[in-house]
Structure 1
Amino acid sequence: MDKNNKKAFFDNFTFTTNKETFRVNVDDGPYLPFITALRTKPFLLLAGISGTGKSQKVQELAFMTCPNGELRNEGGTTPGNYCLVEVKPNWHDSTELLGYYSALSGKYELTDFIRFAYKASQNKYVPFFLCLDEMNLAPVEQYFAEFLSVLETRKKVGNEILTQYLLSKDRFSNCELQKKVLVKEDGDIIEGDKQYKMEFLYSEKDAEIITYLKEKGLTLPDNLFVIGTVNMDDTTHQFSRKVIDRAFTIEMNGGKMSEMFSPESKMLLEYREEPIPLEAFKAEFVRAYEVLDDARFAKYRDVISTRIPALLGDSDGTAEADSINGILNETPFRVSYRVQNELVLYLSTLIERANFPEPDQIEKLIGEATLAILLEKVLPRVQGEQKQLETQNGKSNVLKDLKTFVKSHFKPEEDTDANSLYNQVLRKLKEMDDKLANYYTNFF
């Protein structure tokens, strides 16, 4: 990316908020899948073989959004709105992320996760990116359960998206900033024949955090985006559907090796003269009805409320055969309200990006949103043996049927490039079907 393109990057991408309009160029859009997924939900999984730049991608997002000032000048090699937390194989409870109170020391042991979430809450107009590196080296549900649950409590209140407490203020009620320490020399406090001095338990910055937590507790700031990197091999753990259902999953399996030597690659980890604003990433809605109740989207109500349920199909086992749930009817992989909700949220971003076309012109956008949901939300759920995935009395399977469904509903009128979303979905379905020929398949 040359200097002129670097400055122009995102110049034509329009985001409209209640207060301002931001323009962001998407012509050069390798980041669009990440931005759209994060704008739909602030939890993303980057999966793929080792060494393909998954954790660097999170750094790139931080560099392109970090404003000039204190966050750039904290020292080190990365922006102040980026934090890397390396997951260890021995993580088996939430204390690794959420800390714990030690009665022995009288301190609450803070973690990098808490410190970073607090910093995000104090810089609410800047996007903050937390990278959980090698997320599945430990069983994710054991150390991440509280986050996954609180993530589902997100609620739009005014122009903010709030959550329930990740850590309530009551948890810090016993935390003091200082304690008395018995000394043999002259002390600051004398009680009878004993001498004491006051000892600070925390550094100045940590004391500030503890004071805040005692007063307000910790929720998930709406400018905090958590991105986990995932390598699937025999040293890692499988994901449960609880984790998969609450995240978008984007595969990164590398590209052309020559790209590593291109001039553009040298500029990926550089600050921008005009950083991308938070509004490019921050969710505007949490619930589908909020989209349809918004004046800008009201004209799409009939189209969305008809087409989306028809494409997904009912989740109670009665779906029409020509729908995603109709194909998944006899499996535990059927999708329900959460996926439909996030499909509508994803679609709202595409409609906004297309500058709010007329309702009869959004069929292509509905197709794009459905393909993205299929690739990033539905297929990561699908795994099992041949017998589990059979359909049509053993004559087919869910992967073949989904491939037929995609070709029937979303085949473009003209040939598209190999990296189009349509072709990505078809390739993934073929890859999973080929694996199933060897008895078992999964997404990763």
Structure 2
Amino acid sequence: MDLLNEHWIKTEGSSYYVSTYKNETKSFNKEIAEIKKELVTASLLFAYVSEKLELPDTNPSLSINNEDEGEAEENPDSKFISNFSFREIYETIANSQFTFSTDIIRDFHLNLTALDDKHFVILNGISGTGKTQLCRLYANAVYGLDYEAENPYLKIIPVRPDWMDATALFGYYSSFEKKYIITEFLQVLISAQKERDKPHFIVLDEMNLARVEYYLSDYLSAVESRKEILLHNREDVTDIPQKISIPPNVYVLGTINVDETTHSLSDKVLDRAFVMTLSDVDFDHYWSTLDQSVKAMMSSEYEILCDIHNYLKSYDLHFGYRTMNEMIQKLVRNKELDEEFSLGSMPALDRVISEKMMPKLRGDERIADLLSTLKAKFHGHFGDESQSYGHILRMEKELERYGATQFWR
């Protein structure tokens, strides 16, 4: 397993991973030639470990060019070469399985690279529009990697609601454990200090689950003032520096959702970041990426879902790619069941709309016309005994009585 890791083959326990086959596209997430190469490499390593084969020099040119073989040690990170060429980054993202317009990719690139010493971008938008995926795609594209590849210079950190101060990012000295508690964020900063020529990307996922100005204040001040941040003042801590600065090769990306579980961003944060909104979705492109058999099976349901989505969009209650994909996948799985167990097409669609679309439906008297339109559509498609139609009737009554309504009772 150690040898496999050294040759950039991913392992987990006693298993190793080469590629993933996607049923939707009927293809692997890597080129076939690359998969074959990794399988051959793994086979040779197994033969070597079983003492049936002598492992050849993986970089003979180093032995030829260096008289001292001890100097021929290969840097494992030398394969990661960064490149901020927009054309190459754009082509990598455009050729992925995700859907992002040229405007979004260009704006994201400019926001992240326009300033020489500060790189801070916040992505806002409805859930499921690919905010985190865009961050990962871009960071990997800078290193010429596809979406699924492991990037040692990218760290995605989920923000916790209990982050109350800077220790959530920069760690702290534990008197109980007699050591400095290091965080993923601090690890990236230390690595970036050592490898100044490599851009390091940090994604703070759902960053406004906690108050951003509380835990990010030290970072924001350090970036603005170019002063060092005090980590500790203990002489017995030697593995962590007492102070640290934010090097210019650190790129911080934040994703936020706006709902009742999140906090608004203060002007202190907004003034120091570029804020982008990803709420537009292109379902036509999404539909074009699906397998032809899925399209033939789901065309009627897809048209109904798109029609409903368009009405929801005018009220900012629409849904993203994740929701559409999960609804389509469930509908496909239902049709694959034996006939005696599967639901009919319309009952299944009614069920999935009730489960995935309607839970986010809420508002005041401004959505009265929306509810009326949805009631007519649900009655026409699913009948007056359907779940969706029943939910709309109840919500209309609540709106009339209380002046506001929501799916949840």
Q: TM-score, normalised by structure 2?
A: 0.43
Q: Give 1 or 2: higher helix fraction.
A: 2
Give me the TM-score of the superposition, normalised by structure 1.
0.40
Larger Rg: 2
Q: Which has the higher contact order (CA 8 A, sep 6+)?
A: 1
